[in-house]
């Protein structure tokens, strides 16, 4: 059975169309922000899922993922027509919060929980709007299970929705919810844990909050224009909206081939071309940042090795420089091939959450994070993305991510702490990573 594809006018700006899909419920956008090859080529949009899956009370992580696997199996696979190969047509679109780790590993409960999100939420979508920003083409893609009458209704809906005139404003600046002194105390405690041999690296984050009014989709549009990134997303439910502008891929699975692209190493962009080049070179030459990067690459090699075929895990890229409007990053790539009998959800269960935003060793790092960060991470450092009905998957690391709830915007910034880290530079790095997002809205 083949997907049904209908050509549409090129969707360069997704907000107007996504606003028109709200009437169907649970609109979702996985947005490359037209950043180009190799990772910013395609964007995916949908709404009106057949069902929405969240963890049941008392259910373990593997049990939740098995229900998701069963739902995808019930939907059934589809094939692409000859000459067409898009990344997604139908399947699961949604998110996994950082706190889903509690459903996979035993963790203490110390930090305050004040943002109300499911630990995991995936809608089962039978159609999507897929845009190729390189070819500047868009399609309505329908699963073969959708009949002709429903396809026609969808086509009329997406053809007629293009106006978007909304507003958004902050009712005050973003304020840190942790004082500089409190951050310093947590930093010193991490240093003590590292010296005691508990961990080699621990990611430490702080949260910022601002009161706001208006449409969070307009906030997403403003942020998209200010900081286009290849793994962006907007997900809306009745009680919350997620606004993600991530540059980092967590896990990709295509035809059994696996990739993860950890970021470790950051510098702010320079005010002049000369300063910018100097900062990029400093990052590339910094032994501390390269050592941190290797540490996380090794952790992820181990994570992938739990579900990949023996001997298939490789590191094709190490210390690659990637530059965005606000920062330079060092990025590496770890690849593998799923072992016989393993699938994308097995990989997710063995690797979540990403090592680049926890530390090494991972479980001990997460225990220390829970002890030292005063509020739960919620969506921050979780993942957003898709799991297709053909078995493919692409998930990001939800950094540069905001949660909108009850006229509040929550935003996190963090970084990895190692033995030779300096408190002031690490604190400033948490600000550097999110400053462009704050300024775009303020």
Q: Which residues are catalytic?
A: 248, 264
Q: Which two tokens stand for residue 305?
A: 């090795």
Task: Classify residue 353 as exposed, middle or buried by CB count within 10 Å of its CB (0-12, 13-18, 19+).
Answer: buried
- Which SS3 state, helix, strand or coil, does residue 430 take? helix
Instruction: Tell how strand 4-8 and strand 137-142 pair up.
Output: antiparallel
Instruction: Tell how strand 359-360 and strand 257-260 pair up.
Output: unpaired
Measured CA to CA, the distance from residue 96 to residue 98 in angstroms comes to 7
Question: Measured in whole angstroms, how far is the alpha carbon of residue 52 from the centre of its chain?
Answer: 19
Bridge partners (DSSP) of residue 91 are: 125, 388
Quick check: 140 and 156 in contact, CB under 8 A?
A: no
Measured CA to CA, the distance from residue 202 to residue 205 in angstroms comes to 10
Question: Measured in whole angstroms, how far is the alpha carbon of residue 22 from the centre of its chain?
Answer: 22
Q: Which two tokens stand for residue 272?
A: 């002049």
Q: Which two tokens stand for residue 337?
A: 């091939």
Give the CA radius of gyration of the chain: 21
- Which SS3 state, helix, strand or coil, does residue 300 take? helix
Q: Which two tokens stand for residue 206?
A: 């702080």
User: Which residues fall within 8 angstroms of residue 269, CB to CB, at 6 or more apart?
Assistant: 276, 279, 323, 324, 325, 326, 327, 328
Quick check: 318 and 296 in contact, CB under 8 A?
A: no
Q: Which two tokens stand for residue 40?
A: 């910013």
Of 111, 205, 119, 190, residue with least CA distance to 364:
190
Q: Which two tokens stand for residue 336?
A: 């593998």
* Count, residues in the chain: 442
């Amino acid at each position: 059975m083949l997907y049904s594809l209908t050509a549409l006018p090129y969707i360069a700006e997704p907000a107007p169309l996504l606003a028109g899909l709200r009437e169907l419920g649970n609109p979702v956008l996985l947005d490359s922000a037209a950043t180009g090859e190799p990772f910013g080529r395609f964007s995916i949009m949908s709404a009106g899922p057949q069902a929405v899956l969240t963890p049941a009370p008392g259910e373990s992580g593997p049990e939740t993922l098995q229900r998701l696997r069963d739902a995808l199996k019930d939907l059934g696979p589809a094939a692409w027509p000859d000459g067409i190969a898009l990344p997604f047509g139908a399947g699961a679109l949604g998110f996994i919060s950082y706190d889903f780790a509690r459903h996979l590993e035993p963790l203490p409960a110390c930090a305050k929980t004040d943002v109300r999100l499911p630990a995991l939420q995936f809608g089962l979508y039978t159609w999507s709007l897929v845009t190729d920003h390189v070819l500047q083409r868009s399609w309505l893609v329908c699963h073969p299970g959708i009949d002709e009458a429903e396809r026609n209704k969808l086509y009329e809906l997406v053809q007629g929705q293009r106006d978007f005139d909304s507003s958004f404003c902050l009712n005050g600046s973003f304020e840190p919810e942790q004082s500089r002194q409190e951050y310093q105390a947590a930093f010193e405690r991490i240093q003590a844990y590292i010296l005691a041999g508990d961990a080699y690296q621990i990611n430490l984050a702080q949260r910022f909050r601002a009161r706001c009014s208006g449409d969070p989709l307009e906030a997403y549009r403003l942020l998209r224009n200010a900081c286009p990134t290849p793994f962006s997303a907007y997900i809306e439910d009745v009680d919350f909206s997620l606004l993600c502008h991530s540059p980092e891929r967590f896990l990709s699975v295509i035809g059994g081939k696996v990739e993860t692209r950890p970021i470790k190493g950051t510098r702010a962009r320079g005010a002049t071309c000369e300063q910018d080049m100097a900062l990029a070179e400093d990052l590339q030459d910094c032994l501390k940042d390269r050592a941190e990067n290797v540490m996380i690459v090794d952790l992820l090699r181990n994570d992938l090795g739990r579900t990949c075929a023996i001997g298939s895990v490789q590191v094709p890229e190490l210390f690659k420089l990637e530059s965005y409007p606000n920062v330079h990053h060092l990025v590496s790539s770890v690849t593998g091939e799923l072992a016989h009998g393993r699938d994308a959800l097995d990989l997710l269960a063995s690797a979540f959450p990403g090592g680049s935003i926890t530390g090494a060793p991972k479980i001990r790092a997460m225990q220390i994070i829970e002890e030292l960060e005063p509020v739960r991470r919620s969506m921050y450092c979780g993942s957003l993305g898709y799991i297709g009905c053909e078995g493919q998957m692409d998930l990001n690391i939800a950094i540069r991510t905001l949660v909108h709830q009850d006229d509040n915007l929550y935003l996190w910034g963090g970084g990895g702490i190692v033995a030779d880290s300096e408190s002031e530079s690490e604190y400033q790095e948490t600000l550097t990573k999110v400053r462009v997002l704050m300024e775009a809205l303020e």
